[in-house]
């Protein structure tokens, strides 16, 4: 009895203590000239960006677990003002905007968080994260010493800081947030704002300090960041960066793991070798905090893609792919680097360092502390492998690589030697049968009936307005005008053209209720003029122009003022070779925001009126399409293959999965099937997908799908496309391959719902070639294939110690034999039957 009671009391006490541990134990985050310190101890911090609105709340735990398993100890995110305050004074923290839940998910995994409040975020996000209504407040000027702007910024930052404080989320309160950021890369553009820019930076620093959050603030790309703000570096490489004070650590807040994709652009890749090189070199040269931008890029759902012309996918070639799968070998190669860096944390952060310059861009750095030392051999030469003699031992360091020797004797890691597996992902069509489509034309395209503009007019003005007047509640804004053509008018009775000048991005012309013509801008060239032959009535005429945007600018000085939409409209007649124009820009223009179908929520699964079931009209612009599809069984990520469509938006069960534009092909030139990791990275260096649709597959997160039921897919097709080609697909690993040197282990893993079903190739000796095309070398062990089959077949994953004792003798007489394996992953029957993880 007594014992039992005691045990219960102990259990209760333990429970209390563990709760107290989680909820209340504050830590002291500070910094010195070497590192961020936590409770006085210098830390090696490895951080990765995951932007919460670019996935769903249900995906967060798995993404963060994979980040933790990949060796990160910090998750970094921006805060997205436009999502949190969609209308002035109306806040939203639901669904994938539940910031508190996101930070608590990080906390539950035992990781730290860095909160980049901004509120300017850049991030290839619509309007850099600013709500567009902000632009329409009188007398406002963004990101400068402007009291109207500063009042709004302060209100929002205060709202976020108070929310975090209320939930005890700062480390000083026992929460996970160890660092916060105010503004973002302002130093890049500050000069353009003159004295007011300098005042603004000071104001930002003072504002941040005034919150007393108890953790350090960072300003990235801000060399004049006032104390105690830490200035940090963003870029491809930050090894040469110096903070602006000896008392501040060398921090790298954005190390770009890849690059973003734009409509019309190819698919960029940055190799695992080059990312690892940049990171290892940063720590070699004194860095102690670095962040991968992005660690998981994710998806620009709805209309959140910025740019303009950023694609819906924000995969970024990040270590976790858009759907949350491991992007191998990048994820695994960096995981091993993180393990090595953490194993030398003490000597790295406490030790003194000594550099030995070998010339030819080859440097050895020795960190020493308390009788221990750790070495980095960095070869920044883009062409030559270099052999050095270090303490009477010869070491060869491949070109553009860093070797890490935690004991200054044995190389444990080299950034150019990838032991992690390569996973080849495939899209598998789920349903072979075609979907049944319903269709409905967009209504009220003529816009004017009996001299009256149909529907709700937003405003009327005797001039052409920037499309942002409508606060960006839709991609579309109608510009509508009417005029009388009188006898005697210089253009009366001639062949006429309508000339429309727009600053972007898409334009459709309707005259007297008839569709005339369309055009769109190419990436990077948003201003264009369209001319169309028209016929006018002898008396009254109506012109309706539909202007569409594809995400608003997010970068550059004064980007907020970049105009979008129509700025000039003329009627042009040719007479005897001379042009006579009539400018109607200053007519009375009526403005209407959004499409009729958007305003009545045609995309809602409950919208059942007006759909036609027969005589499907394909390849026609301004069409709504609707279909039903079943959720694929299994747990693989679901995507829609939208090949065959033109441009528009897609909704699944009422959730906007983003803009689609498969008819916009990536340019033909510049791609390459091979990629040399050596030499400085540029976004155009290792690209693929030339000549194909810029984006063909669109992510549908499980949260948007009904479990084992029918789902409603609605498309708005703006250009004209064929919905018959639309398919549901899943994404999974089809093959894995890997190569590892003797003395290391070779790990192979299919996804959790898969097994290794076939070994296509296994060779121990001197195998040649790349993943997918391995070949036998001149010598090998005859047992290797049998051993590999025994250890791996039928298993989800296997690990093989690469050694003659395991794999049999080779008699190759080379310094190090290698094992290469190429294997097939197959989905297992039991998981086929498993239900999806989430439900609505």
Give the active site residues.
185, 254
Per-residue CA distances from 303 to 28, 76, 83, 309, 522 (Å): 40, 23, 11, 11, 19
Residue of 434, 830, 825 lying closest to 635 (CA atoms): 830
Query: For ligand NAG, which residue has the nearest CB?
Result: 235
Choices 130-138, 354-362, 540-548, 617-625 (CB under 6 A): range interacting with ligand NAG: 130-138
Choices 10-18, 232-240, 504-512, 623-631 (CB under 6 A): range interacting with ligand NAG: 232-240
Residue 329 CA to its chain's centroid (Å): 19
By CB under 6 A, residue 290 contacts ligand NAG: no
Closest CB to ligand NAG among 235 and 302?
235
How far is residue 549's CA from residue 562's CA, in Å, rounded to a whole number?
12
Binding mask 709-748 for ligand NAG (x = CB under 6 A): ----------------------------------------
By CB under 6 A, residue 236 contacts ligand NAG: yes
The nearest distance, CB 592 to ligand NAG, in angstroms, is 11
By CB under 6 A, residue 555 contacts ligand NAG: no
The token duo for 439 is: 């269709």
Choices 234-242, 415-423, 662-670, 785-793 (CB under 6 A): range interacting with ligand NAG: 234-242
By CB under 6 A, residue 458 contacts ligand NAG: yes
By CB under 6 A, residue 470 contacts ligand NAG: yes
The nearest distance, CB 255 to ligand NAG, in angstroms, is 9
Phi-psi region of 344 (alpha: psi -120 to 50; beta: other; left: phi over 0): alpha
**Out of 40, 451, 488, 815, the residue judged to bind ligand NAG by CB under 6 A:** 40
b/e sequence 705-734, b meaning 16+ C-beta within 10 Å:
bbeeeebbbbbbbbbbbbbeebbbbbbbbe
Q: Write out the DSSP string of 292-359.
A: EEEEE--B--TT-B-BTTB-SB--TT-SB-TTS-B-TTHHHHHHHHHHHHHHTHHHHHHSEEEEEEEE
The nearest distance, CB 240 to ligand NAG, in angstroms, is 9
Return the bridge partners of 663, or none. none
By CB under 6 A, residue 30 contacts ligand NAG: yes
The nearest distance, CB 671 to ligand NAG, in angstroms, is 20
By CB under 6 A, residue 237 contacts ligand NAG: yes
By CB under 6 A, residue 615 contacts ligand NAG: no
Closest CB to ligand NAG among 39 and 668?
39
**Out of 95, 235, 302, 568, the residue judged to bind ligand NAG by CB under 6 A:** 235
Closest CB to ligand NAG among 134 and 305?
134
Binding mask 56-95 for ligand NAG (x = CB under 6 A): --------------------------------x-------
**Out of 196, 471, 617, 796, the residue judged to bind ligand NAG by CB under 6 A:** 471
How far is residue 776's CA from residue 435's CA, in Å, rounded to a whole number?
47
Where do the H-state alpha helices sit in 213-271?
Answer: none
The token duo for 377 is: 């051999």
Closest CB to ligand NAG among 174 and 235?
235
Choices 231-239, 266-274, 580-588, 731-739 (CB under 6 A): range interacting with ligand NAG: 231-239
The nearest distance, CB 30 to ligand NAG, in angstroms, is 4
Choices 155-163, 230-238, 244-252, 381-389 (CB under 6 A): range interacting with ligand NAG: 230-238
The nearest distance, CB 184 to ligand NAG, in angstroms, is 13
Torsion of CA 161, 167, 171, 177, to 10 degrees: -60
Q: Which long-range contacts (CB under 8 A, 24 or more apart) does 676-680 make?
A: 677/271, 677/272, 677/273, 677/274, 677/277, 677/400, 677/416, 678/382, 678/383, 678/399, 678/400, 679/382, 679/400, 680/236, 680/237, 680/382
Closest CB to ligand NAG among 41 and 797?
41
Return the bridge partners of 359, or none. 362
Choices 74-82, 229-237, 403-411, 412-420 (CB under 6 A): range interacting with ligand NAG: 229-237
The nearest distance, CB 458 to ligand NAG, in angstroms, is 5
Return the bridge partners of 291, or none. 47
Binding mask 675-714 for ligand NAG (x = CB under 6 A): -----x----------------------------------
The nearest distance, CB 465 to ligand NAG, in angstroms, is 10
Phi-psi region of 556 (alpha: psi -120 to 50; beta: other; left: phi over 0): left
Q: How many residues bind ligand NAG (CB under 6 A)?
A: 16
Query: 416, 396 in Cβ contact below 8 A?
Result: no
Closest CB to ligand NAG among 241 and 697?
241
Closest CB to ligand NAG among 226 and 235?
235
For residue 614, the surrounding DSSP H or E stretch is none
Query: 47, 114 in Cβ contact below 8 A?
Result: yes
The nearest distance, CB 306 to ligand NAG, in angstroms, is 19
**Out of 10, 18, 28, 709, the residue judged to bind ligand NAG by CB under 6 A:** 28
Residue of 283, 359, 294 lying closest to 320 (CA atoms): 294
The nearest distance, CB 178 to ligand NAG, in angstroms, is 12
Angle formed by the axes of helices 60-69 and 99-108, nearest 10°: 40
Closest CB to ligand NAG among 187 and 723?
187
Return the bridge partners of 181, or none. 116, 218
Residue of 82, 289, 78 lying closest to 183 (CA atoms): 78
Phi, psi torsion values for 700, nearest 5 degrees: -115, 100
Phi, psi torsion values for 538, nearest 5 degrees: -65, -20
Q: Write out the DSSP string of 81-92.
A: HHHH-SBTTB--
Q: Is 621 helix (H, G, I), strand (E, B) or coil?
A: coil
By CB under 6 A, residue 328 contacts ligand NAG: no
Report the site for ligand NAG in 508-537 (rule: CB under 6 A). none
Q: Which long-range contacts (CB under 8 A, 24 or more apart) does 162-169 make?
A: 163/93, 163/99, 163/100, 164/100, 164/103, 164/115, 164/213, 165/213, 167/100, 167/103, 167/104, 168/23, 168/24, 169/100, 169/103, 169/104, 169/107, 169/113
By CB under 6 A, residue 234 contacts ligand NAG: yes
**Out of 37, 173, 447, 573, the residue judged to bind ligand NAG by CB under 6 A:** 37
Closest CB to ligand NAG among 37 and 363?
37
By CB under 6 A, residue 172 contacts ligand NAG: no
Phi, psi torsion values for 772, nearest 5 degrees: 95, -20
Return the bridge partners of 234, or none. 254
For residue 581, the surrounding DSSP H or E stretch is strand 578-583
By CB under 6 A, residue 223 contacts ligand NAG: no
By CB under 6 A, residue 173 contacts ligand NAG: no
Q: Which residues bind ligand NAG (CB under 6 A)?
A: 28, 30, 37, 40, 88, 133, 136-137, 234-237, 458, 470-471, 680
């Amino acid at each position: 009895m007594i014992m039992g009671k005691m045990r219960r009391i102990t259990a209760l006490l333990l429970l209390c203590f563990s709760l107290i541990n989680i909820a209340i134990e504050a830590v002291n985050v500070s910094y010195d000239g070497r590192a961020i310190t936590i409770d006085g101890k210098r830390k090696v911090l490895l951080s990765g960006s995951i932007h919460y609105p670019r996935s769903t709340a249900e995906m967060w735990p798995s993404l963060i677990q994979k980040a933790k398993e990949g060796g990160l100890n910090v998750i970094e995110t921006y805060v997205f003002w436009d999502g949190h305050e969609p209308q002035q004074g109306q806040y939203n923290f639901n669904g994938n905007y539940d910031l508190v839940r996101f930070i608590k998910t990080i906390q539950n995994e035992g990781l730290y968080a860095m909160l980049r409040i901004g509120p300017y975020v850049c991030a290839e996000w619509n309007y850099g994260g600013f709500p567009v209504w902000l632009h329409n407040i009188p007398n406002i000027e963004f990101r400068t010493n402007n009291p109207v702007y500063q009042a709004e910024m302060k209100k929002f930052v205060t709202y976020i800081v108070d929310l975090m404080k209320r939930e005890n989320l700062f480390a000083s309160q026992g929460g996970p947030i160890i660092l916060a950021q105010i503004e973002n890369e302002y130093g890049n553009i500050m000069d353009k704002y003159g004295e007011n820019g300098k005042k603004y930076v000071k104001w930002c620093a003072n504002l941040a300090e005034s919150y007393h959050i108890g953790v350090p603030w960072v300003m990235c790309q801000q060399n004049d960041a006032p104390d105690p703000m830490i200035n940090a570096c963003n870029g491809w490489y930050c090894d040469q960066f110096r903070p602006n004070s000896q008392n501040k650590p060398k921090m790298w807040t954005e190390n770009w793991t890849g690059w973003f994709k734009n409509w019309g652009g190819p698919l960029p890749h940055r190799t695992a070798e080059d990312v690892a090189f940049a990171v290892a070199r940063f720590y070699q040269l004194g860095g102690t905090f670095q962040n991968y931008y992005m660690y998981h890029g994710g998806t620009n759902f709805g209309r959140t893609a910025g740019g303009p012309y950023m694609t819906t996918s924000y995969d970024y070639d990040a270590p976790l792919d858009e759907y949350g799968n491991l992007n191998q070998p990048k994820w695994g190669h960096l995981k091993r680097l993180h393990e090595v860096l953490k194993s030398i944390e003490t000597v790295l952060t406490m030790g003194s360092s000594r550099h030995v310059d070998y010339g030819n861009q080859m440097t050895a750095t020795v960190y020493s502390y308390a009788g221990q030392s750790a070495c980095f051999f960095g070869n920044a030469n883009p062409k030559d492998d270099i052999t050095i003699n270090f303490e009477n031992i010869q070491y060869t360091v491949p070109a553009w690589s860093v070797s890490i020797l935690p004991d200054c004797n044995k190389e444990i890691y080299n950034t150019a030697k990838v032991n992690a597996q390569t996973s080849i992902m495939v899209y598998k069509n789920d349903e072979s049968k075609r979907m049944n489509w319903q269709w409905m034309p967009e209504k009220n395209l003529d816009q004017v009936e009996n001299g009256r503009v149909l529907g709700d007019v937003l405003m009327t003005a005797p001039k052409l307005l920037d499309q942002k007047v409508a606060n960006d509640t839709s991609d579309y804004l109608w510009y509508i005008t009417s005029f009388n053509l009188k006898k005697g008018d210089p253009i009366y009775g001639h062949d006429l053209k309508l000339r429309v000048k727009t600053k972007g991005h898409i334009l459709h012309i309707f005259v007297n209720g008839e569709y005339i013509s369309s055009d769109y801008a190419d990436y990077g060239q948003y201003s264009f003029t369209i001319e169309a032959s028209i016929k006018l009535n002898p008396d009254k005429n109506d012109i309706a122009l539909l202007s569409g945007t594809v995400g608003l600018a997010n970068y550059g000085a004064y980007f907020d003022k970049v105009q979008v939409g129509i700025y000039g409209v003329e009627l042009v007649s040719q007479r005897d070779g001379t042009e006579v124009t009539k400018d109607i820009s200053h007519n009375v223009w009526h403005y209407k925001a959004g499409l009729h179908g958007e305003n009545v929520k045609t995309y809602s699964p409950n919208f059942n009126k007006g759909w036609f079931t027969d005589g499907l009209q394909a390849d026609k612009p301004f069409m709504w399409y609707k279909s039903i599809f079943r959720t694929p069984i299994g747990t693989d990520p679901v995507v829609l293959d939208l090949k065959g469509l033109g441009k528009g938006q897609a909704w699944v069960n009422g959730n906007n999965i983003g803009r689609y534009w498969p008819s916009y092909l990536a340019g033909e030139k510049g791609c390459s099937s091979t990629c040399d990791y050596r030499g400085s990275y540029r976004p155009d260096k290792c690209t693929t997908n030339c000549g194909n649709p810029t984006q063909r597959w669109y992510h549908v997160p499980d949260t948007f799908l009904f479990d084992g039921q029918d789902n409603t897919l609605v498309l708005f097709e703006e250009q004209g496309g064929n919905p018959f080609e639309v398919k549901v697909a899943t994404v999974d690993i089809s093959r894995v391959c890997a190569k590892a040197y003797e003395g290391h282990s070779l790990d192979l893993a299919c996804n959790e719902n898969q097994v290794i079903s076939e070994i296509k190739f296994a060779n121990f000796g001197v195998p040649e070639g790349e993943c997918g095309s391995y070949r036998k070398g001149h010598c090998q062990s005859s047992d290797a294939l049998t051993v590999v089959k025994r250890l791996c077949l039928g298993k989800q994953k296997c690990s093989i110690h690469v050694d003659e004792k395991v794999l049999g003798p080779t008699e190759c007489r080379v310094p190090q034999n290698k094992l290469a394996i190429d294997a097939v992953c197959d989905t297992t029957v039991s998981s086929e039957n498993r239900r999806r993880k989430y439900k609505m």
